[in-house]
Amino acid sequence: MITTRALAAGVLTALASLVLAAPGPQQSPASGKITVLNPAVSSKMAKRAPLSPRLDTLDGKTLYLVDINWGGPDAAYSVYEEIRDWFAQRLPSVKIVIRRKRGSYAQDDPELWKEIAKNGNAAMIGISG
């Protein structure tokens, strides 16, 4: 007897094999060469940057809440407003600045990063909503 769990696992395995199946080697008729992908993983580690040190307190500090535009202009902004309101009620000495990053979530916004470095003590950057 096949359980629902076993059936679901089998279906998921079959679907994953279809989705993850890469096309086979391709041959260039003119050159007789075969093009394949190398599945080897590079052992070279990516350059790492250290984390910023934690603040001892948020009292009297400026915290930037940065909407990175993931999901469009209306996807997360209200969540940042809720966070701002929470701070206003519970930690009123913390100045909250809400900013929306320019461009899509994948684009850089050097002007915003400079503003945060100059005027802020901390930042929450990411998606929400």
- Count of CB atoms within 10 A of residue 67's CB? 23
Q: How far apart are CA 49 and CA 21, in angstroms?
A: 35
Q: Can you read off the two tokens belonging to residue 47?
A: 């350059």
Mean of pLDDT over the chain:
80
- Average pLDDT rounded to a whole number, residues 21-49: 71
If pLDDT is split at 50, 70 and 90, which confidence band does 64 have? very high
Contact status, residue 93 vs residue 59, Cβ threshold 8 Å? yes
- Count of CB atoms within 10 A of residue 112's CB? 17
Q: What is the pTM of this model?
A: 0.61
| φ, ψ (nearest 5 deg) of residue 48 | -110, 145
- Average pLDDT rounded to a whole number, residues 41-58: 86
